[in-house]
Structure 1
Amino acid sequence: MAVIRFSLAVLSFTMLAATAQADAPAGGFAFGEPAPAAKADRTVEIVMGDMFYRPASLDVKAGETVRFVLKNEGALLHEFNLGDAAMHAHHQQEMQKMQQAGLLTPTAMKRDGHMAGHDMAGMEHGGKPMRHDDPNSVLVEPGKRAELTWTFKEASGLQFACNVPGHYQAGMVGSLNVQP
């Protein structure tokens, strides 16, 4: 009976993640799309600390383009990822695989495909090379700044989160309320 419940839970999660992606337009997301910084209606600074964001919640308007300036004041690598809980759960699995492959360390993402003498360039996940290049996400190393600009559509249950293994579970998640 426990195996059936577990299988149903996995199936439900898989269907939720697939639905979130299916609702997204080609090359985009159901809750919005990336935009050039020059098109921003406003700029919001988000401070990333070890296991928190400041501010922890944000209100935006549907149709608004927001330029997020992300400042990592923590000692660890952090991520700013826009999505709903199901998308974050799926992305956390990908990030875990990247960490296991040696592409992700506590303070950095290896961009050159090499780590500890291993060539990671040939490693694949889901038929494509493992890398962190989703348009709704950015990694920020300790003491660094980064930006992400996004035009929002109407959405509910939207969050910004850090999906580096263990960070979301430690509370590094904020709410993003999209107003009509």
Structure 2
Amino acid sequence: MKCLFIAAALALVSLPTFAGEAQTFAFGEPAPASKATRTVNVVLKDIAFEPGNLEVKAGETVRFVLVNEGKLPHEFNLGDKAMHAEHQKEMVAMQGKLFTGGMNHEGMDHGQMMNNSQAMDHGGGHGHAGGNTVLVMPGQRGELTWTFRKSAPIEFACNVPGHYQAGMVGALTIE
């Protein structure tokens, strides 16, 4: 089963690229790495992040360097609980399509889907759409740079099916 999941994830990141735009959220928006005022290293392990919680300041632009030391694909997704719940539904739907013979883009709002070291974008107002998610394959590295605008109760999480529920989520405090 693990091999099947990895194959599905690889198929997902190898799909063609579609144009998409990053969005702004109440808690901030994506930024170019050159604007970062601080770099935070985050290790993605199988069903855990190190560190387990993060703190940033309102107005700060942070470059997250993500290293997947696990044996499974993982994502680093910024959002509130509701955004994560909605994104998890999308991930389960995509996983089902991958396991049943390929991705059908009809009826799904897909934007840009990039390689394992960049943000993936599926369209819509959450999830990968706003450049707030990076999928990182095992042994790979990814980056996400974000400007935090104001305090909001958000989390960083892996929304690969089952990972959030198994505890792959941490609080991100914006001071």
Bin for the TM-score computed over the shorter chain:
0.7 to 0.9
TM, length-normalised to structure 2: 0.74
Counterparts of 1:78 and 1:95 in 2: how far apart (Å)?
Answer: 12
Q: Tell me which residue corresponds to 1:120.
A: 103
SS in 1 for 2:92: helix
TM, length-normalised to structure 1: 0.72
* 1:119 Cα deviation after fit: 4.7
Larger radius of gyration: 1
In 2, are the aligned partners of 1:43 and 1:66 still within 8 Å (CA)? yes
Counterparts of 2:105 and 2:79 in 1: how far apart (Å)?
Answer: 28
Does structure 1 residue 51 correspond to structure 2 residue 47? yes
Question: Which of the residues 129, 133, 138 maps onto 2:110?
Answer: 129
Q: Tell me which residue corresponds to 2:23.
A: 27
Q: How many residues align?
A: 139
Counterparts of 2:173 and 2:110 in 1: how far apart (Å)?
Answer: 33
Structure 2 gap ranges (5+):
1-21, 114-119, 122-127
Question: Which of the residues 127, 135, 141 maps onto 1:145?
Answer: 141
In 2, are the aligned partners of 1:123 and 1:129 still within 8 Å (CA)? no
Does structure 1 residue 79 correspond to structure 2 residue 75? yes
In 1, are the aligned partners of 2:79 and 2:156 still within 8 Å (CA)? yes
The residue type equivalent to 1:120 in the other structure is M
Counterparts of 2:61 and 2:146 in 1: how far apart (Å)?
Answer: 5
The residue type equivalent to 2:107 in the other structure is E
> Percent identity over the alignment?
59
Counterparts of 2:42 and 2:155 in 1: how far apart (Å)?
Answer: 13
The RMSD of aligned alpha carbons is 1.8
Counterparts of 1:123 and 1:70 in 2: how far apart (Å)?
Answer: 32
**Shift in alpha-carbon separation, 1:27–1:54, aligned structure 2, 3 A:** same
Counterparts of 1:34 and 1:51 in 2: how far apart (Å)?
Answer: 25
Structure 1 gap ranges (5+):
1-25, 104-115
Counterparts of 2:40 and 2:141 in 1: how far apart (Å)?
Answer: 13
SS in 2 for 1:28: coil
Counterparts of 1:81 and 1:122 in 2: how far apart (Å)?
Answer: 22
In 2, are the aligned partners of 1:121 and 1:129 still within 8 Å (CA)? no
